[in-house]
Structure 1
Amino acid sequence: MKYLKPALITALVVFILSVAAILGTYFYIKSDLPSVDILKDVRLQTPMRIYSQDGKLISQYGVKRRIPLTLEQIPDMLEHAVIATEDSRFYDHPGIDPIGMMRAFISLVTTGEKAQGGSTLTMQLARGFFLTREKKFIRKIREIIIAWHMEQLLTKQEILELYLNKVELGHRAFGFGAAAQVYYGKDINDLTLAQIATIAGLPQAPSVLNPISRPDRSIARRRIVLLRMLDEGYISQQQFDEAAESPVTAAKYGAEIELDAPYLADIIYNEMIELYGKEEAETGGYKVVATVSSDMQQAAQDAVRRNLHDYDERHGYHGPEKLVWGADGDHDALPLSEQEMLNILENHQTFKPLEPAIVVKVNEKDIVIFNQQGKYSVIDWDGLDWARPFINDAKQGAAPKVAADILQAGALILIRKRPEDDHWQLAQFPQATSAFVALNPQNGAVQAVIGGYSFYQSQFNRATQAKRQVGSNIKPFIYSAALDNGYTLASVINDAPITQWQAGSGNAWRPENSPAEYDGPIRMRVALSKSKNVVSVRLLRAVGLENVVEYLPRFGFDKDEIPRDETLSLGSGSHTPLEVATAMAVIANGGFLIEPHFIQRIEDEYGKPIWVSNPPQACDPCIAEVEKPQAINPDDIEALLAAEFATQNSETAPIKDIPQAPRVISAENAFLVAEMMRSAVQINGHWDNRGTGWRTALLLKRDDVAGKTGTTNDVRDTWFSGYTPDLVATAWVGFDDNNRRLGRTTPNQNLVNKNPKRFNYIGNALIGSEAGALAAQPAWIRFMQKALAGKPEHLLPMPTNVVKVRIDKSSGKLTDRTDNTSMFEYFIDGTQPIVYASDAEMIESSEKGELNSQQLEDIF
């Protein structure tokens, strides 16, 4: 009793002093403590994700990888693993575990080191949200106080859910949903017990315990987690044994990208930054649904890449990337080992779909290669015969006769798999580049956008940023201005050379047709279909330069970027492919200027729509309609799906107001320009009457398409723009170096021999100077073949104020004849001819010896 009383008094004093110290510390730091109330409305830093219309992930932006999950979405086995390892008494303590604290205190006393913190899950969560990992007593006191507050405010389930989504798990993964993807490329519910135990052991030290950086330490940590689960009765001995002996299966997985569309993703990313700022855009968990569908975007990408390879290969082979052995003609040099070749291939940078390979043997008509996968393959003569030497953009060497004319053993080359027949072919990175954009002409929703061959080689988006001379793509708008000033499709203009003396320069301006052929008096419809340059100049003069300059902005062109001279009629103005496609949409939709846009919907981190596009529509009048659900990914946007289907099935579905796009030209004007552009992509009876885009008629076999080729002076820019009433697209091909010309080609005899009949009939149309029809149009056609497959033809109805009368083809006047000298033509009522053609004005048309469209189709 002599010592008991002082001991009790001492303990009481220590207790009172401890309580006083804690209270004093609490009041001292109280003003600096963060409010735990924010946890009721916590926003996890979640990356922005961009999806296609059909729910495929295009890209993900944000330093922190996170996939927020509800507690119901988290497998029980993972919950058990975390609790058993990190805080087995989680459901029993008030946020602070006295036993754990005592264990940490004993460790400190016995070792002198702050190795164990005695932190509960709640304390770890408090530290993760509000504090740092520094091992100081004041931080631990703050952690305890915040944890206690959290336990008063939140349920155990809410705390656990926050922890499982918040905790850092290495390799920029935050939360277990992201860790499952980063380490295993799986949904969290697809993990094995061994994989669950691996990631459950990461919170202690994610940088040194993760299975990628330190697989040995990860195995040891996994065993500890499994032992704790076994001790707590969550798993059986058999489960423990199997999981503990499982091999490490982790690898670093990127975001589960399902649609490779980096140019589109970059556009949307920058728009989101403009809307929300960089930090909020990257961490706010936004789900952005683009206007494109995966099918359309993939079709555009395939078409652009295939077209660039076709252009590049017809101009010749630039040679191998380098020689890895056999340099300086030393063909007897010893080859490298397979491992040495693999090392070289692994370190050689290239861009999909190109792959590097090494030539190990050259036979007479084929080569044997060693690829990045460590396999040997054969490229036969069909994949080599194109590779005649490149001399310059306008000259190629002789066609090779054997494989040794092209390559030698030891050459590091690029190869690609031809999509049309899955055949390996010798390849090279195209030196020319391209852009492509497609949009819905009814509302401006972009359907596909390609800014170049590879975003990873050049981030410059030529579809939206490159202003290039548009060439003859400007002519439909010049002709529209002419129609607005009294001309008709039957108006006859003189297709004859022009010489204009320019006093300022002391030179004569002589615009020429391409090719330099002149037909004399020619109707407007025919002139546009054949892209007659001098007719376009004469129409500009007739309408007046200033009148045309004032007219073109109706189509969305910036007035300040329109040339103030007669070269305007030949396309000397520079515009982006997106601007050209937008302008073409005015003709396609019947006269309305729409606004191109890339985002259809933005949702918050919970899948709730916070912004939905409602663009002006090409309609007059625009009648409000019941809003329909959009195509989305059910796995990612379940709440929205449920809401939309509920709306769809409701008798009180909301009415969506439809804003009207401004009408900029009359429906009659748009209809008549469309008619001329339809002639530009048809053969029009026989070979001599074909439009410059005649390949469209052969390969698409549709009557609802219209289009226009475009080629600039010296062939520095080539274009093709065309449309149906539901889809407009523009393709451009050129060099980034605007001083470089696309050049010309001569026949490659190897390719001629494959199809001599085709070459004999139309070879002259496939060689010679590059042009819009040869360099750009094939990409447009390939895209449209996929985009329009299975879709019925759709023609806009003829405006009620348009009439159809029979005219003489030569004079454009009325005629009673029904032979091949006449045709039906469209006119705005009141502008049709009233005078009949005389017999002298009627010229017989002969199709003798010409190929009609069916014969050409058979050749193709």
Structure 2
Amino acid sequence: MVKAGLAIPFDLAVLGAVAAAVVVQALEPEVPPIEALTEIEFEEPLRIFAANGALMAEFGVQRRRAVAIDEIPPLLIEAFISAEDSRFFTHDGIDAIGLTRAALSVAKSGEATQGGSTITMQVARNFFLTREKTIKRKLIEIMLAWKLEARLSKDEILSLYLNKIFFGHRAYGVAAAAEFYYQKSLAQLTVAEMAMLAGLPKAPSANNPLSNPERARERRDYILERMHRFGYIDDTDFLLASTAPLSAQRYLPAIELRAGYLAEMARQAVVERYGQEDAYRLGLRVYTTVDAGLQRASDAALRKGLRAYNRRHGYHGPEARVEHVGAKTDEALDALLAERPRVPGLPVGIVLSASAARAEVYLGQGETHDLELAQVKWARRFRSENARGRTPRRVTDAVAVGDVIRLRQTEDGAWRLAQVPKVGGALVALAPEDGAIRALSGGYAFEWSKFNRAVDAKRQPGSTFKPFVYAAALDKGYTPASLVRDERFELPSAGGVWRPKNADGKFMGPIRIRVALTKSRNLAVVNLVDRMSVDDAREYIQHFGFAPETIPRDLSMALGSGSVTPLELARGFSVFANGGYRVQPYLIERIEDAQGQRLFEAQPLRACMTCWIDADVDSARVLPIGASDDPRAPLAIDPRIAYNIDSMLKDVIRSGTATRARRLKREDIAGKTGTTNESRDSWFAGYQPQLTAVAWVGRDDNSPLGRGEWGGTAALGIWIDFMEEALADLPVATIKRPEGMVPVRISLHSGEATPSRSGSRIEYIRDEYRLMTLGPDPVRYSRQEETPRRTAPRMLDELF
């Protein structure tokens, strides 16, 4: 009887074991090797920093590298144990009670609605498997869990779990979740916050405190009850935590320097180097050459200049219109405002009411401001680049109910009507020593327009190109004293006859090259290139880094009819700033991985600045680790030519077309204005020996800027405002005269050597040309060719 009674259960047990063995044997090939766990890389976003370590941008998913188990507070671990697997420390990877509950659920419903997974099983699933609810996947999950328990300690399994689990909003790992939802480290979390995080892995969307706060609170309180029941928290902690308000807020990177154009340039460079996938997951830290103070000054100067242009040419009207404003709730208006681009310093608003005396503007979140006539009086309607409407006499002449507008707060705290300028602009600043990009603004605001005009806008440089042409002439044997003909010029062309002209429509006759460059005389430079040959000039100008295809093969090249970007022009002017060396602009100083190991470090070619300027002997220059003055950048032009051009470009500011810059009260600044036909482009390119800066203003569609918008108007003002900040702490630099130059007293009229002190000046001439100051193809001066009496206002000569 005993034997008969035990036979059936024993037989069933044997058959079950055999069946289990068969299943295990069949599934074994599909079970992944757990050795791959040691190769898991925990992802971090790509971060871009300024030279001083200020965070500029963060790209990629919100993931962080693993934190060690001893960095995780014990109470936080207990919160997860309470929420996910209360018997974690006593089972061997499989919780029989939980699996039985899941099996009963399947039997009742016919579907796998409950998983019965332990933390170990979740690690197995999250690292190796999908989340599909099938019997086969569950069996493989169980087999993996056994392997994990056999190979790893409980702490190691917990570490993998807490660093891998998904918490919603692209946050993986408990450290990432703490930062995303609470902007805290793990050690700073409260009991309530720990319970909230512990409640997320089961249903990251449904239990999310940002998208579903009530459901999240219920889940939090449930976990707090379990923590209290298991003795992890006492009565007081439980009461305080369960009554604590929800405090989760969406993570926003702590951006310390907003420089969207530069951050995007760095991002693109990193993606090109490391690929789309690795760039965003390896936790790369990219340190740029950007000076945070100069970048803020660059943005401020460009925005100020573009706003000033905007005021000169009128108000373009609202950005959009909202119908039936009065019937909309604040929440509805907030949603409409959220759709508009965020523009620094120009918050967007909707006009709620408007009368002759006042308009009420809603800025979101219940905030409103009033506009009175004084705050909108500037807003004469834009008619064309040369015409504006009448000055508003009533507030309703400028704004109407439903208008979506921009406001700007003035220094005295008042608000005034504003708008994002319709005109484009750029400013770029380089270190002439090695080409490091110190500041770059590619438009009014990256958030408004992603088009980076500093590096992508190919525009005609106009008269800013003339210094390169004159440098080519000096290389041919001309000197600053050589005479050039500022007189009528005609050239047959396919379209008829090309007749260039000066800005004032007049001629000065034979004038010295110094005068021609300082006064920006168009006909003088055209006549000069005609004498020295276009091909020779083009070949020499390429020494400055300009590509051959950007320099036209005709005489119009002398007037800047080619195409360059502001960054390319800055590189060219840096040759004059550093004494003749061609440097290559670069943005990324170094790249580190998540552990701080250096993966890349720039090794720029450097100009010999000690050969060019007198440095303070008491100040030592500290170079970055691994950097040196060698290798030397290639010498693009003879330093003596750089010295002559630098001298003449200083005269542009002293007495030429950029006298406005004298307000900086610096003797070491030099530069050149530039304007193209119909004032489509306004340029100023200038430098101090330690900083080259180029400012440009123009319309993206290449339409005219309007009357009076010369290089000495729009662009020069931006450059001055920037350099006023940039040069504040830089001592005045003294240029060293290169060897092989001799002083020659020359006549201001004939350009020839003269002993007379009257009507003469000292020019420094290259030694080999000291006896031929008029150059290889001399223009002779005669008194019959004296400059005619001025009939136009002096201002006309100063526009170009």
**TM-score for the superposition, normalised by structure 2:** 0.88
Letter in 2 for 1:316: G
| One-letter amino acid matched to 2:704 | R
Q: In structure 1, what is the Cα distance between the partners aligned to 2:16 and 2:438? A: 69
Counterpart in the other structure of 1:246: 244
Q: For 1:655 and 1:317, locate their aligned partners in 2 and report how far apart those are by CA, in whole Å.
A: 51
Distance 1:569 1:730 in 2: 19
Q: CA deviation at 1:596?
A: 1.8
1:692-731 counterparts in 2 under 5 A? 692-698=657-663, 700-731=664-695
CA drift of 1:726 comes to: 2.1
Q: Name the CA shift for 1:396/1:113 in 2 (closer, same or farther; >3 Å).
A: closer
- Establish whether residue 275 from structure 1 lines up as the match of residue 238 from structure 2: no
Match of 2:443 in 1: 452
How far apart, in 2, do the equivalents of 1:839 and 1:815 lie?
16
The 1-side partners of 2:514 and 2:738 are apart by 18
Offset from partner CA, 1:484-536 (integer Å, 9 cap, x none): 1111122222222322333x33x222111223343333222232222211122
> 1:807, 1:822 within 8 Å by CA — same for their partners in 2?
yes
In structure 2, relative to structure 1, the CA distance for the partners of 1:106 and 1:742 (3 Å cut) is: same
Relative to structure 1, the CA distance from residue 12 to residue 45 in structure 2 (aligned partners, 3 Å threshold; closer, same or farther) is: farther
Match in the other structure for 1:372: 364
**Which stretch shows the higher mean deviation, 579-588 or 41-50?**
41-50
- Quick check: 1:415–1:424 contact (8 Å CA) kept in 2? no
Q: Does 1:793 align with 2:732?
A: yes
Q: Match for 2:464 among 456, 467, 473?
A: 473
Q: Structure 1 658/146 Cα, relative in aligned 2: closer, same or farther at 3 Å?
A: farther
CA shift in 2, pair 1:25/1:384, >3 Å: same
Equivalent-residue separation in structure 2 for 1:106 and 1:30 (angstroms): 26
1:373-432 alpha-carbon deviations (Å, 9 max, x no partner): 4333234555333222222111223444x3347335525252332565554221123221
**2:298 aligned with 1:300, yes or no?**
yes
Q: Which residue of 2 aligns with 1:679?
A: 651
Contact 1:815 1:822 in 2 (8 A): yes
Deviation for aligned residue 1:268 = 2.2
**Equivalent position SS for 1:464:** helix
1:496 is aligned to 2:459: no
- The 8 Å contact of residues 96 and 148 in structure 1, kept in 2 or not, is answered as yes
Q: What is the Cα deviation at residue 270 of structure 1? A: 2.2
| Residue deviations 1:144-178 (CA, integer Å, cap 9, x gap) | 33333334444444433332221111122111222
Which aligned pairs between 1:147-296 and structure 2 lie closer than 5 A?
Answer: 147-296=145-294
1:142 is displaced (CA, Å) by 1.9
Deviation at 1:708, TM superposition (A): 1.5
How much does 1:818 deviate?
5.7
Q: Which residue of 1 aligns with 2:349?
A: 357
Distance change (3 Å), C-alpha of 1:246 and 1:450? same
Aligned partners of 2:754 and 2:164: how far apart in 1? 82
Cα gap change, 1:770 to 1:72, in 2 (>3 Å)? farther
Q: Deviations 1:622-662 (Å, cap 9, x if unpaired)?
A: 9xxx99796xxxxxxxxxxxxxxxxx8xxxxx676843322
Q: Does 1:734 align with 2:732?
A: no
Output the CA distance in 1 between the equivalents of 2:633 and 2:410.
40
Instruction: Name which of 389, 408, 420 aligns with 1:397.
Output: 389
Provide the rounded CA distance (Å) in 2 between the counterparts of 1:783 and 1:33: 64
Q: Structure 2 vs 1, CA of residues 188 and 412 (structure 1 numbering), >3 Å: closer, same or farther?
A: farther
The alpha-carbon distance between structure 1 residues 82 and 791, as it changes in their structure 2 partners (threshold 3 A), is: farther
Counterpart of 1:641 in structure 2 is none
Partner amino acid, structure 1, of 2:650 = R
SS of residue in 2 equivalent to 1:206: coil
For residue 398 of structure 2, what is the amino acid of its counterpart? L
Distance in 2, matches of 1:320 and 1:102, equals 66
How far apart are residue 555 of structure 1 and its match?
A: 1.3
Contact 1:81/1:229 (8 A) holds in 2: yes
**d(CA) in 2 for partners of 1:668, 1:585:** 15
Could you tell me which amino acid in structure 2 is paired with residue 724 of structure 1?
Q
Task: Give me the whole-angstrom Cα distance separating, in 2, the residues matched to 1:15 and 1:578.
Answer: 81
Partner-residue secondary structure (3-state), 2:416: strand
Specify which of 564, 572, 585 is matched with residue 561 of structure 2. Answer: 572
Which residue pairs with 2:616 in the alignment? none
Structure 2 partner of 1:825? 763
Do 2:305 and 2:717's aligned partners in 1 also have CA atoms closer than 8 Å? yes
Is the 8 Å Cα contact of residues 285 and 592 (structure 2) preserved in structure 1?
yes
Instruction: Quote the RMSD (CA, aligned, Å).
Output: 3.6
Cα distance in structure 2, aligned partners of 1:806 and 1:196: 83
Give the aligned residue type for 1:415.
R
CA–CA distance in structure 1, aligned partners of residues 158 and 756 of structure 2: 88
Distance (whole Å) between structure 1 residues aligned to residue 331 and residue 394 of structure 2: 25
Point out where structure 2 has 5 or more consecutive residues left out of the alignment: 612-619, 775-779, 796-800
Which one-letter code corresponds to 1:720 in the other structure?
F
Instruction: Report what 1:645 is aligned to.
Output: none
What residue identity is the alignment partner of 2:349? A
Aligned ranges for residues 79-158 of structure 1 at < 5 Å?
A: 79-105=77-103, 108=106, 114-158=112-156
Aligned positions, number: 778
Q: Find the counterpart in structure 2 of residue 751 from structure 1.
A: none
The offset of 1:226, in angstroms, is 1.3
Verify the 8 A CA contact 1:478 1:539 in the aligned structure 2: no
C-alpha spacing 1:514/1:165, structure 2 compared with 1 (3 Å): farther
Kindly state the Cα deviation for residue 221 of structure 1 after the two structures are TM-superposed. 0.8
Q: Residue deviations 1:190-240, cap 9 Å, x none? A: 433222211111111112111122212111110122122223333221111
Match of residue 388 from structure 1: 380
Give me the whole-angstrom Cα distance separating, in 1, the residues matched to 2:92 and 2:628. 51
Q: Is the 8 A contact 1:362 1:403 kept in 2?
A: no
Matches of 2:296 and 2:587, distance apart in 1:
16
Tell me, yes or no, if the aligned pair for 2:42 and 2:65 is still in contact at 8 Å. Answer: no
Determine if contact 1:545/1:565 at 8 Å carries over to the other structure: yes
Counterpart of 2:428 (choices 412, 415, 437) is 437
Matches within 5 A, 1:22-101: 22-63=20-61, 65-66=63-64, 68-101=66-99
Which amino acid counterpart does residue 127 of structure 1 have in structure 2?
Answer: R
Q: CA deviation at 1:788?
A: 2.5
Counterpart check, 1:779 vs 2:718:
yes
Describe the SS at the equivalent of 1:147: helix
Letter in 2 for 1:549: R
- Equivalent residue number for residue 581 of structure 2: 592
Could you tell me whether the CA contact under 8 Å between 1:296 and 1:787 is conserved in 2?
A: yes
Task: Give, as a single letter, the amino acid of the residue that structure 2 aligns with 1:478.
Answer: V
Quick one: distance in 1 between partners of 2:785 and 2:538?
Answer: 37
What is the alpha-carbon distance in structure 2 between the residues aligned to residue 258 and residue 13 of structure 1? 73
**3-state SS, counterpart of residue 286 of structure 2:** strand
Q: Secondary structure at the match of 2:206?
A: helix
What is the CA-CA distance between 1:300 and the residue it aligns to?
A: 2.1
CA contact (8 A) 1:359 1:412 kept: yes
In the other structure, the counterpart of 1:635 is none
Match of 2:748 in 1: 809
Shift of 1:342: 3.4
* Contact 1:580–1:730 under 8 Å retained in 2: yes
Task: Report if aligned partners of 1:356, 1:412 keep a CA contact under 8 Å in 2.
Answer: no
Instruction: Quote the Cα distance in structure 2 between the aligned partners of 1:290 and 1:439.
Output: 13
Distance 1:588 1:7 in 2: 104
- Write the deviation string for residues 22-71 of structure 1: whole angstroms up to 9, x where unpaired: 44444433333333222223212333222222223333333454464343
Q: Which secondary structure does the structure 2 equivalent of 1:722 belong to?
A: strand
Deviation at 1:742, TM superposition (A): 0.8
Q: Is the 8 A contact 2:608 2:629 kept in 1?
A: no
Equivalent AA in structure 2 for residue 827 of structure 1: I
The 8 Å contact of residues 810 and 841 in structure 1, kept in 2 or not, is answered as no
Q: 1:705 and 1:162, CA in 2 relative to 1: closer, same or farther beyond 3 A?
A: farther
Amino acid at match of 1:474: F
